[in-house]
Amino acid sequence: MLELYHNHMSVCAAKVRIALTEKRLEWKGHLLNLIGGDQFKPDYIKLNPKSVVPTLVHDDKVIVESNVIIEYLDDAFPDPPIRPFGAYDRACMRLLLKRLDDGSDGIHHDMSVVSFGSAYREQLIKRVKKKQELDAEIDKSMNATSKSWLQQTIHEGVEAESFKSAIKNIDKLLDDFEAILNQSTWLAGPDYSLADIAYTSYMTRLEMLSYQRMWSERPRVTDWFNRLKQRPSYELGILRWVDPAYQKVLNDGGKRAWPQLSKILRV
């Protein structure tokens, strides 16, 4: 029995839903309301001490960290395989997974900064009466790791230095993808793999923010993302779960942020 603790809009949780779909596995879901603080409930912290989603429970075993979970799924259920066969391609896949998770240098961090700086910060600001109450609200509603990354961005939005450096890192990632996809069909060699799965939801987040112009002049990235969207796992792992209210927050916020963002990127 596979159980997934997840959230509609979480990029890390979407990654696991796509992997489960590609592996054709049955699973039972438990949706957490992250704004409502479900991740801080004592029973959940017992499963995931960092109070983040996703968490996978396989029979009596608990697995955390989305990159670890997707590799676990491929180890526990080898057929069909979703890791490259060659040692070098597998190393490329691992490097790309690591690039998501490199702490404050990681793409996951950058995408959180960009999402909050462009859009999600508005929701926190709306909840307080005065700007001075914002730190208390951040303190109450976010876990320690997210808070340390996001405080400056929540205060300053697209003007924050943290925002500028995050969007530049993401732009550099897209450059690297364009070069990789010039050499191979998928991100880690000739076959679709965990590397492609891991980045699908991050591309989708950029698209929901209306930032498609970041890759409109990168034809290989454009083609790769279109191929990802044609897979049934895109519908089942991502689209089916989209919360329209959140999609609107991202879409509206991204459109407002674009003029400043395009100045930073000079596009």
Ligand X SMILES: N[C@@H](CCC(=O)N[C@@H](CS)C(=O)NCC(=O)O)C(=O)O
Closest to ligand X by CB, 53 or 221: 53
Q: Which stretch binds ligand X (CB under 6 A): 62-70, 90-98, 223-231, 243-251?
A: 62-70
Q: Which span (65-73, 155-163, 239-247, 251-259) binds ligand X, by CB under 6 A?
A: 65-73
- The residues in 94-113 that bind ligand X, with binding defined as CB under 6 A, are 101, 108
Nearer to ligand X, 191 or 207 (CB): 207
Q: Is 200 within 8 Å of 18 (Cβ atoms)?
A: yes
- Could you give the CA distance from residue 210 to residue 163 in angstroms, rounded to a whole number? 17
Q: How far is the CB of 183 from ligand X (least distance, A)?
A: 27
List residues bridging with 188 in a β-sheet. Answer: none
Give the number of residues in contact with ligand X, rule: CB under 6 A: 16
Q: Which is nearer to ligand X, 119 or 181 (CB)?
A: 119
Dist. CA 65–CA 13, nearest whole Å? 10
Residue closer to ligand X (CB basis): 142 or 173: 142
Q: Are 54 and 5 in contact (CB under 8 A)?
A: yes
Contact yes or no for 177/221 (Cβ under 8 A): yes
Q: Which of 2, 12, 113, 138 binds ligand X (CB under 6 A)?
A: 12
Burial label for 262, CB within 10 Å (0-12, 13-18, 19+), is middle
Q: Which is nearer to ligand X, 164 or 205 (CB)?
A: 205
Class of residue 87 by CB neighbours under 10 A (exposed 0-12, middle 13-18, buried 19+): exposed
Q: Does 150 bind ligand X (CB under 6 A)?
A: no
146 binds ligand X (CB under 6 A): yes
Compute the distance between CA of residue 150 and CA of residue 188 in angstroms, rounded to an integer. Answer: 31
Residue nearest to ligand X (CB): 52
**Angle between helical axes of 107-115 and 144-156 (0-180°, round to 10):** 50
Give the separation between CA 150 and CA 162, rounded to whole angstroms. Answer: 8
Nearer to ligand X, 48 or 181 (CB): 48
Tokens (6 digits) for 248: 């609107």
| Of the candidate residues 11, 56, 73, 208, the single one contacting ligand X (CB under 6 A) | 11
The least distance separating ligand X from the CB of residue 128, rounded to whole angstroms, comes to 18
Q: Are 24 and 231 in contact (CB under 8 A)?
A: no
Instruction: Report d(CA 63, CA 48) in Å as an integer.
Output: 9
Q: Which amino acid is at 183?
A: Q
Q: Measuring CA to CA, which residue among 144, 143, 155 is closest to residue 113?
A: 155
21, 27, 66, 153: which one binds ligand X (CB under 6 A): 66
Asked if 118 interacts with ligand X (CB under 6 A), we say no
**19-27, 59-67, 83-91, 177-185 -> range binding ligand X (CB under 6 A):** 59-67
List the interface residues with ligand X, window 183-222 (CB under 6 A): none
Residues in 13-52 at the binding interface with ligand X, rule: CB under 6 A:
34, 39, 52
Please report, as ranges, the residues that interact with ligand X according to CB under 6 A: 10-12, 34, 39, 52-54, 65-67, 101, 108, 142-143, 146
